[in-house]
Structures are given as structure tokens and as C-alpha cells.
């Protein structure tokens, strides 16, 4: 429910606009976050903070046994994202592939689906709220919005076996939670970009369009 996300965001620091320039890119699995981060790094000169999925010892196990690994995976991500945003806030221009702010989306979905116990979720939520109080919000949050059909197409196209084997209902629930979260997100300025018909990885015109949206939004915030 939207009220849950509103409560999670209530009372946290709000972006002041006078700190280091930090961009966060968020959205469902396969939407193009890492690709856009790489473009922002190359074209705009930002320092990247990649999502901790490459050297993650739990992620592939989680997709095959979510009930067993949901809690340790979420704690792993939470800790890594807290570490990332602490370091990013000290850099002049940084861009993050996801951040601690949207981490709670996954934990809530796992709890609602019975894959994380109520006790585990309460421990996670306490950690999240304690950490978020010490985080500097991004200068700009970019939400890459996508339809379920396009998200599944992109997930299938990139060919990670543990993602392909995951049931469509999981991606459907995740996409809904993302939409609910960003209806109430208010920790920083937000730029929402629907990417259903955009291919900024291979199409130069689409890439220029998205970069223009980002640069114009950043300029308007100054």
C-alpha cells in the first residue's frame, strides 16, 4: 500500500540542493539502470556506484529458494547500499545504480509474499530506518518506468538463467510495488522516464533525448 511507503519516507532527510551532485537511477530489474548509469558516466563525467550484484554470494541462490535467502539477501543489499551512498555523498558528481531509498520495495514484497517472516521484516525495517536517517538524499532520483510486458522482454533478452526461471507473477508484483513507491517518493526531486519505447543503449536519438531530460532537470534545480 502507498501508505506504507509514505511512512517509510516520512521524517527522513530531504535534499537541500547545496551538497554534492548525486544522481540515483532506479526501476525494476532489466529496465536499463546500469546502461543509463554508464551513459551518464561517459557523457556527463559522473563517478559510478554499481549495484552489488556481480560479487553477490547470495543472489543466485535467492532466486531458487527465496524463503531461505530473502532476509540475508536484503540485509546484504541494505548494507552495501548504505556504504555506497555514504561514499557517494562525499564525491562532487556521482551516479548510483539503485540506492538505499528503494531497497525497502523488495523487502516489503518478500514479506507480503510470505518469503520473509514478519519477525525478519521488522528487523530489516528497523535497520532501514536507522540507516536512512544518516543518508544524504540524491540531488535527483531518476525512475525508469516500464510496462510488465517490456520488462519481461528485456529480462529474457539479457539471458540470466535465474531471472528467466523466475515466474512472471514475481515481476508483476515487483513492477506494481515500484509504481506505488514512486507515487509517494518525496525525499528528493524526481524525474520519471517511461522507457517502453526507448532504446538509449543502441539508439543515439533516444540516448540524446534521455540525456537532455536529465541535464534540463539538473539545470532547473540549480
97 a catalytic residue: yes
CB atoms within 10 A of CB 157: 9
Catalytic residue among 26, 97, 103, 180: 97
Under 8 Å between Cβ of 195 and 31:
yes
- Which of the 8 DSSP states describes residue 93? E
Helix (H), strand (E) counts: the chain: 10, 5
Under 8 Å between Cβ of 32 and 201:
yes
Under 8 Å between Cβ of 86 and 135:
yes
Under 8 Å between Cβ of 101 and 132:
yes
Q: List the strands of the sheet with 93-97, edge to edge.
A: 47-49, 93-97, 21-26, 140-145, 190-194
- Dihedral of CA atoms 168, 191, 98, 165 in degrees, nearest 10, equals 10
The residues assigned a catalytic role are 97
Amino acid at each position: 500500500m502507498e501508505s506504507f511507503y509514505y511512512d517509510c519516507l516520512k521524517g527522513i532527510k530531504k535534499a537541500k540542493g547545496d551538497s554534492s551532485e548525486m544522481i540515483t537511477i532506479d526501476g525494476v530489474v532489466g529496465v536499463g539502470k546500469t546502461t543509463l548509469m554508464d551513459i551518464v558516466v561517459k557523457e556527463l563525467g559522473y563517478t559510478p556506484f554499481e549495484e552489488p550484484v556481480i560479487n553477490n554470494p547470495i543472489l543466485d541462490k535467492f532466486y531458487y529458494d527465496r524463503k531461505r535467502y530473502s532476509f540475508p539477501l536484503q540485509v546484504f543489499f541494505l548494507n552495501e547500499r548504505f556504504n555506497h551512498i555514504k561514499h557517494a555523498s562525499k564525491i562532487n558528481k556521482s551516479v548510483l545504480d539503485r540506492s538505499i531509498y528503494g531497497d525497502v520495495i523488495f523487502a516489503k514484497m518478500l514479506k507480503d509474499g510470505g518469503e520473509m517472516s514478519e519477525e525478519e521484516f521488522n528487523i530489516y525495517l528497523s535497520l532501514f530506518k536507522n540507516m536512512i536517517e544518516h543518508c544524504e538524499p540524491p540531488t535527483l532520483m531518476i525512475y525508469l518506468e516500464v510496462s510488465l510486458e517490456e520488462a519481461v522482454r528485456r529480462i529474457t533478452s539479457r539471458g540470466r538463467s535465474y531471472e528467466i526461471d523466475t515466474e512472471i507473477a514475481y515481476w508483476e508484483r515487483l513492477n506494481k510495488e515500484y509504481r506505488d513507491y514512486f507515487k509517494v517518493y518525496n525525499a528528493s526531486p524526481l524525474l520519471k522516464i517511461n522507457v517502453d519505447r526507448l532504446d538509449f543503449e543502441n539508439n543515439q536519438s533516444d540516448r540524446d533525448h534521455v540525456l537532455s531530460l536529465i541535464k534540463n532537470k539538473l539545470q532547473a534545480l540549480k
